[in-house]
């Protein structure tokens, strides 16, 4: 993801953006699957550069064998989308604040 209409982000802003994205992905997964049925839930958000800002999100989910009927790939894709939606929302807020 690259964003061009925002000011350069500080390290604190990048950390806040990353934490928000990670939380969005985790919250989504936990809204769909009980914590006791999750073996592994890893969410990694990497942000590089300032202009352009390049962001990658990696979500890894391993569910209990009791959840063998569950579509883990779909869950992973949706959690990744939620993370990027959180990032886009954060960047839009920054952009609107910088225009004031």
Question: At what angle are helices 11-32 and 72-99 packed, to 10 degrees?
Answer: 140
| pLDDT band at residue 88 using 50, 70 and 90 as cut-offs | very high
- Output the CA angle 48-58-15, nearest 5 degrees: 45
Burial class, 12, CB count within 10 angstroms (exposed 0-12 / middle 13-18 / buried 19+) = exposed
Q: Which fold would CATH assign to domain 2-89?
A: GMP Synthetase; Chain A, domain 3 (3.30.300)
pLDDT at 3 over 60: no
pLDDT tens for residues 23-67?
999 999 999 999 999 999 999 999 887 777 889 999 999 999 999
- Domains of the chain by residue range: 2-89
What predicted TM-score, i.e. pTM, was given to this entire model? 0.87
Q: Which of 94, 77, 85, 70 is nearest to 14 (CA)?
A: 94
Average pLDDT, the chain: 89
pLDDT at 9 over 90: no
């Amino acid at each position: 993801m690259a964003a061009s209409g925002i000011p350069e982000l500080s390290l604190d802003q990048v950390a806040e953006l990353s934490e928000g994205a990670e939380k969005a992905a985790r919250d989504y997964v936990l809204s769909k699957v009980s914590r006791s049925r999750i073996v592994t839930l890893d969410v990694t958000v990497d942000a590089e550069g300032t202009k352009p800002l390049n962001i990658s999100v990696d979500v890894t989910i391993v569910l209990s064998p009791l959840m063998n009927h569950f579509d883990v790939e779909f869950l992973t894709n949706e959690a990744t989308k939620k993370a990027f939606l959180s990032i886009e929302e954060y960047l839009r807020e920054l952009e609107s604040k910088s225009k004031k």
